[in-house]
Amino acid sequence: MSELPKVDRQETLSFATRLVSSGNFDSLFREGMTLVEETATYLDGLGREESRDLDRSIALAYSTESMRLTTRLMQLASWLLLQRAVNEGEMSPDQAHSEKNKVRLERNSGKLEVPSWNKLPDNLKNLISRSVRLQDRIIHMDNMLVKERMSEPLTANDNPIAAQLSQLNAVFGK
């Protein structure tokens, strides 16, 4: 029977960090960038044609939702690019964390459906739905990274008061 390797308790496994540096992240990155390209192609081509045939109130909803879609995708692409820069060693995790504060990942509302949702072109609704699903996955991954970052053990070089506060939090909770 083989013996399990001894693990130094100071060396914790970082699930979220490993996840965002794995093939899963590469797949998510490609999916996000492909969605950005598909959306740009749609909005510059077929989307323009489809929007011309809409009633005025539906055209306004189309414009609003297409702006929300492009804003959402640009924020998601920014997050993906930051994470890729960390994975490729172009940026430290601390630098990326600082830059990430400029990226807004939160959803503006809990509902996709606007009053005229059913009258919007199916192609636009499909892109919006896909972008929201991608956003939910990225928010989940980002939340895992933030939680992991906040629970990182302090080293001997850290502030001794912070170390004491961390120990108190561990014992009594937040």
Question: In angstroms, rounded to a whole number, what is the distance separating the alpha carbons of residues 142 and 97?
Answer: 10
Instruction: Write the pLDDT tens digit of every residue in 95-124.
Output: 887 787 778 877 765 456 667 889 999 999
Residue type, 59: A
Instruction: Write the pLDDT tens digit of every residue in 57-99.
Output: 999 999 999 999 999 999 999 999 998 888 888 888 778 877 8
Instruction: Write the pLDDT tens digit of every residue in 129-163.
Output: 999 999 999 998 888 877 877 765 545 455 667 66
| Domains of the chain and CATH, by start | 15-152 (1.10.8.930)
Q: First CA to last CA across the chain, in angstroms?
A: 43
Count the Cβ atoms, other than its own, within 10 Å of residue 140: 11
Tell me which residue of 149, 171, 169 sits closest to 161, measured CA to CA.
169
Q: DSSP class of residue 108?
A: S
Count the Cβ atoms, other than its own, within 10 Å of residue 86: 20
Q: Given a cut of 50, is residue 10 above it in pLDDT?
A: no
3-class secondary structure, 73: helix
